Amino acid sequence: MTDASLNGAEEPRRRGSIHEIDARTRKRNAREARFKGYGIGAILVGLFFLVVLAVSIVSSGLPAFTKTVVKVEFTMSQEQYDEAESTLFKTAAYSDIFIAQLRDTMEEEGVEVAFDEGSIERLLGKVGGTLREFYTANEDQLGQPVTFQLPASSRVDGYFNGRVTREGLTESRFLELTDLDLVDALADAGVITQAFNWTFLTGSDSGVDNPGGAGIGVSVVGSFFMMLVVLVLALPIGVAASIYLEEFAPQNKFTDLIEVNISNLAAVPSIVFGILGLAVFIQFMHLPQSAPLVGGLVLTLMTLPTIIISTRASLKSVPPSIRDAALGVGASKMQSVFHHVLPLAMPGILTGTIIGLAQALGETAPLLLIGMVGFVARDYPDGFVGGFTEANSAMPAQIYTWAARADASFYEKAWGGIIVLLVFLLLMNVIAILLRRKFERRW
Amino acid sequence: MPSMKLAASALAIAAASATTVAAQSRDNVQVAGSSTVLPYASIVAEAFGENTDFPTPVVESGGSSAGLKRFCEGVGENTIDVANASRAIRDSEIETCAENGVSDIIEVRIGYDGIVFASQQDGPAFDAFVPSDIFNAIGAKVLVDGELVDNPHTSWADFNSDLPDAEIAMFIPGTKHGTREVFEEQVLLTGCEDTGAMEAMIEGGMSEDDAEDACLDVRTDGGHSVDIDGDYTETLARIDANPNGVGVFGLAFYENNQDALKVATMSGVAPSTETIASGEYPVSRPLFFYVKKAHIGVIPGLKEYAQFFVADELAGPDGPLSNYGLVADPELAETQQKIADEVTMGESM
């Protein structure tokens, strides 16, 4: 029969040349082209939203990275220092001395626009804290001129980046229209300039009347220590649990129950873990409130199911022949898992872990209840252990706090914080990809 | 496996540090409560950290009721030291506190805050309100032609021809906010009495208490009144999106956003720190914080923080709090003395 059909002169089912496309093929090809079109369309829509998102984040957030500063030379005498240090509200005393001296200097220089101490005060942000910090640390600088770059007030800052305009200004005790003339004159004289806002990258949160002093740096450190806790706890526990469940555990009702529970836990709203954290870690175990350690523990609970599920999936995807071959040449069950299966599953495990960490990094809800959301303005933690135990905030919590403040300048800071958060996430993803490449090359 | 060893040692470190931490005492003051008091508390906390050797206190938000609930959970380092509140503590809360061992509470009044009604700059002219207007707009049952009926009004002009013919859309603070209580007592209840609705309810067979409660019911139909559980920024965002929206704000928030909001007078008085201090502006309330006396001496800096907060330099008329929008308390000296002597609630001075 084969011969007959091979040699058969006639092929009844197909007529015409194969170079000529018939109606049915044309239809099929058209369908394929349409599907490709849909796919490209979907990607374009996705890209469009990504671009819109990126543009809006960057354009709203960029003002946070520049600040308007007043650059002046200031001399503080020993007597003024002693006097300021003897008051209760020392930083206000520093500020008063600074303003008085600035007024005198401006009078000497002959600034043409009318001004008084009130307008200088409206122009400046909070300066007392910076001055006091400098002079208490450098008492030898007393009596000598020092050039300071101090933040301008949030409205003057807004005037420079377009948030506040002469037309849209409602005069208030925070800023009057004549102050803007003074600002223009001082900007021409080079006293008021724009500078890169290092405070934003390195500082901590500040009071609502001090947007110029607000920074995200300390909460980045808080987030870092939380992620460290999550990584150190969730990765080994998650991987150990999945290896046991996948490779060693007997299949029975009990392990089924555990599996169902893990899948359900992955879907539990994160606020629930926050309530659990408050009850167990703070009220029962008496761990400190607002500490990254507790935040990390809560986020560990939240991340564990994600890591377990992805680890089990990647263990499952390792072909059974690898295990069989290892067992066949005399490896123990444990050796086959740790020498052969686990390294092959590593890229998948790493991806799952990074996704879990990224999710935990952006989480605010569980932190609400353990005291990490609010006004947490601390210095950088004292040493490694302090990083875990001293009160700190986290990046998403800091962003949330800023977004709720009355002063519009903090709203810019919130967007700027989002940019920093995204950069952090991007870095984590890059590390994940690099690690994955490294592990993949071995096999 | 080195990675196993690493993981094991990391676990050991984590466990060890967890135990040492538990034994360590807390060195910072922990505060929670009203989101209206939060801005002031954050100003004070920052200044306290800058001006003293104590660490900066941690101030959480969440609303007066939530803060007082946590305050009353008990005594000990794992509970908060100070609760901020935009209303006075309730008797029921004092009882809960006492049940959990928090019996000595120092009440500190830091000043006054006005509640203002504001709308979009470009919206209809909501320039002047009286409490009756607000009640007629959002009360559940109002008086129409002498009859007590479910609120039929959809436009402000329906009941007051002086007001713009615009859809009623009010954004009022949610029930977890202390501001809500002041809004209910000083605006809704007054409006209810002024319109005669309360009288009609009592004539209709209600007891006085029931009538008062009924006056505070807010309509739920058609989105004419929306509870805002978040902060004033949420209210501001809702107003931004709705030209007809009228929102309830704290005076300080409004003053910081004058470019975006226009404020209405209440009973003919424009809100400002002066009119509130003099008592002319009718809707204002005192702001408080509550200190656990049992924590004084245990938590470093607690008493100092309380004293610093109400010092003339901060809470006085020329201080930074007043500059931000707080109406200074004329009886600040008494409050300062009260903290110095650690006088608790119920004790006479």
Task: Pick the more confident residue, A297 or B12.
Answer: A297
- Residue pLDDT, tens place only, A47-75: 999 999 999 999 999 989 999 999 888 99
Nearest chain B CA: its distance from A123 CA (Å) = 14
CB contact under 8 A, A377 and B259: no
Q: What is the pLDDT, as a whole number, of residue A10? A: 54
Chain B residues in contact with A376 (beta carbon < 8 A): 58-59
* Residues A281 and A424 occupy one common structural domain: yes
Q: Which residue of A has its CA nearest to B55?
A: A378
Judge contact between A311 and A349, C-beta under 8 A.
Answer: yes
Span A312-338, average pLDDT? 92
Pairing, β B245-250 against β B225-228:
unpaired
By CA distance, what is B324's nearest residue in A?
A: A209
Domains B26-111+286-341 and B114-284 share a fold: yes
Residue A419, token pair as written in the block: 């940019």
The total domain count for chain A is: 3
Q: What is the pLDDT of residue B278?
A: 86
Say whether both A276 and A196 belong to one domain.
Answer: no
CA distance B110 to B310: 6
Residue A18 lies inside a defined structural domain of this protein = no
Smallest CA–CA distance, residue A371 to chain B, in Å, is 7
Give the residue from chain A lying closest to B235, CA to CA: A404
What are the two backbone dihedrals, phi and then psi, of residue A14, each rounded to the nearest 5 degrees? Answer: -130, 125
Mark whether A121 and A270 lie in a shared domain. Answer: no
Task: State the pairing for strand pair B30-33/B58-59.
Answer: parallel
Residue in B with minimal Cα distance to A293: B18
pLDDT digits (tens, 9 = 90+) for B235-260: 999 999 999 999 999 898 898 888 88
Inside any domain, residue A5: no
| Distance separating alpha carbons of residues B316 and B327, to the nearest angstrom | 9
Mark which of A37, A62, A87 sits at the end of a domain.
Answer: A62
Residues A104 and A143 in one domain: yes
Q: Is the CB of residue A314 less than 8 Å from the CB of residue A345?
A: yes
Report the run of H or E that residue A308 belongs to, with start and end. helix A292-316
In chain A, residues with a C-beta closer than 8 Å to the C-beta of B1 are 338
Mean pLDDT of chain B: 87
Number of helices (H) and strands (E) in chain A: give both, helices first: 20, 3
- Whether B39 sits inside 8 A of A406 (CB atoms) is yes
- Subunit contact B21:A287, Cβ cutoff 8 A: yes
Interchain pair B313, A290: CB under 8 A? no
Torsion of CA B98, B102, B106, B109, to 10 degrees: -80
In chain A, the largest separation of any two C-alpha atoms, in whole Å, equals 117
Question: Which of the pair, A113 or B261, is modelled with greater confidence?
Answer: B261
Q: Chains A, B: CB contacts under 8 A, how many?
A: 159
The answer to whether B305 and B57 are in contact (CB under 8 A) is yes
The CATH number of residue A233's host domain is: 1.10.3720.10
- On whether both A175 and A304 belong to a single domain, the answer is no
Q: Tokens 């947490």 — which residue?
A: A376
Percent of chain A with pLDDT over 70: 96
Interface list for B 154-183 with A (CB within 8 A): none
Widest CA span in chain B: 86
> 3-state secondary structure string, A322-387?
HHHHHHHCCCCHHHHHHHHHHHHHHHHHHHHHHHHHHHHHCCCHHHHCCCCCCECCCCCCCHHHHH
In tens, the pLDDT along A244-265 reads 999 998 989 999 999 999 989 8
Do A188 and A261 have their domain in common? no
Q: Is the pLDDT of residue B57 over 90?
A: yes
Chain B interface, best mutation among A163, A209, A335, by max B CB count within 10 A: A209
**CA A252/CA A271 separation, integer angstroms:** 32
Residues A236 and A333 in one domain: yes
Task: Considering only the beta carbons, identify the residue of B14, B22, B324 that sits closest to A229.
Answer: B14
> Looking at the domain assignment, is residue A4 inside a domain?
no
The third-level CATH classification (topology) of the domain covering B26-111+286-341 is D-Maltodextrin-Binding Protein; domain 2 (3.40.190)
Chain A CB contacts of B173 under 8 Å are none
**What is the pLDDT of chain A when averaged over all its residues?**
88
Per-residue pLDDT reduced to its tens digit, A378-390: 888 888 888 898 8
Helical pair A408-442 and A154-161, crossing angle rounded to 10 deg: 70
- The continuous run of DSSP H or E covering A195 comes out as strand A192-196
Q: What pLDDT, on the 0 to 100 scale, is given for residue A408?
A: 84
pLDDT for the residue A167: 81
pLDDT band at B78 (very low <50, low <70, confident <90, very high): confident
The answer to whether residues A226 and A300 touch, using CB atoms and an 8 Å cutoff, is no
**Within-domain flag for A7:** no
For chain B, give every domain's residue range.
26-111+286-341, 114-284
Query: What is the reported pTM?
Result: 0.84
User: What is the pLDDT at residue A391?
Assistant: 87
Q: Which residue has the higher pLDDT, A165 or A238?
A: A238
pLDDT above 90 covers a percentage of chain B that reads 43
- Residue A15 placed within a domain: no
| Per-residue H/E/C for chain B | CHHHHHHHHHHHHHHHHHHHHHHCCCCCCEEEECCCCHHHHHHHHHHHHHHCCCCCCEECCCCHHHHHHHHCCCCCCCCCCEEEECCCCCHHHHHHHHHCCCCCEEEEEEEEEEEEEEEECCCCCCCEECHHHHHHHHECEEEECCEEEECCCCEHHHCCCCCCCCECEEEEECCCCHHHHHHHHHHHHHHHHHHCHHHHHHHCCCCHHHHHHHHCCECCCCCCEEEECCCHHHHHHHHHHCCCEEEEEEHHHHHHCCCCEEECEECCECCCHHHHHHCCCCCEEEEEEEEEHHHECCECCHHHHHHHHCCHHHHCCCCHHHHHCCEECCCHHHHHHHHHHCCCCCCCC
Q: Which residues of B touch A88 (CB under 8 A)?
A: 51, 308, 311, 313
Beta carbons of A170 and B258 less than 8 Å apart: yes
CB within 8 A of A431, min separation 6: which ones? Answer: A354
Q: B103 CB near a chain A CB, below 8 Å?
A: no
Query: Hey, are the CB atoms on B22 and A89 less than 8 Å from each other?
Result: no
pLDDT of B11 reads 53
Which of A159, A193, A213 terminates a domain? The answer is A213
- Please tell me which of the candidates A90, A209, A378 has its beta carbon nearest to residue B51: A90
Residue A95's domain comprises 64-213
Does B15 contact chain A (CB < 8 Å)? no
Token pair 């005393």: residue: A93
Residue A181 CA to its chain's centroid (Å): 39
Beta-carbon separation of B43 and A169 below 8 A: no
CA of B42: which chain A residue's CA is closest?
A207
Estimate the crossing angle of helix B302-309 against helix B332-341, to 10 degrees: 170
Q: What tokens appear for A230 in the block?
A: 């999550």
pLDDT of B348 higher than 70: no
Residue A226 and residue A205 in one domain:
no
Residue after which a domain boundary falls, among A194, A213, A232: A213
Query: Do A172 and A111 share a domain, yes or no?
Result: yes
Asked if B23 and A336 touch (Cβ cutoff 8 Å), the reply is no
A241 and A328 part of one domain: yes
Residue found by looking up tokens 């969440």 in the block: B62
Instruction: Check CB contact under 8 Å for B55 and A236.
Output: no
What residues of chain A lie within 8 A of the CB of B7, using their CB?
Answer: 232, 235-236
Tokens of B286: 């005192």
CA distance A369 to A277: 8
**Cβ contact (<8 Å) for A406 and B232?**
yes
In a domain, A1, yes or no: no
Chain B hits for A207, Cβ within 8 Å: 39, 42-47
User: Is B114-284 in CATH node 3.40.50.9100?
Assistant: no
Shared domain for A234 and A344, answered yes or no, is: yes
Is residue B68 within 8 Å of residue B89, measured between CB atoms?
yes
> Which pLDDT score, from 0 to 100, does residue A312 have?
94
Report residue B153 as tokens.
Answer: 């009004």
- Whether residues A269 and A208 share a domain: the answer is no
pLDDT of A19:
79
How far apart are the C-alpha atoms of B313 and B293, rounded to whole Å? 24
The tally of CA atoms less than 13 A away on the side-chain side of residue A279 is 6
All residues of chain A having their beta carbon less than 8 Å from the beta carbon of residue B257 are: 406, 408
pLDDT reported for residue A15 = 64
pLDDT over 80 (residue A7): no
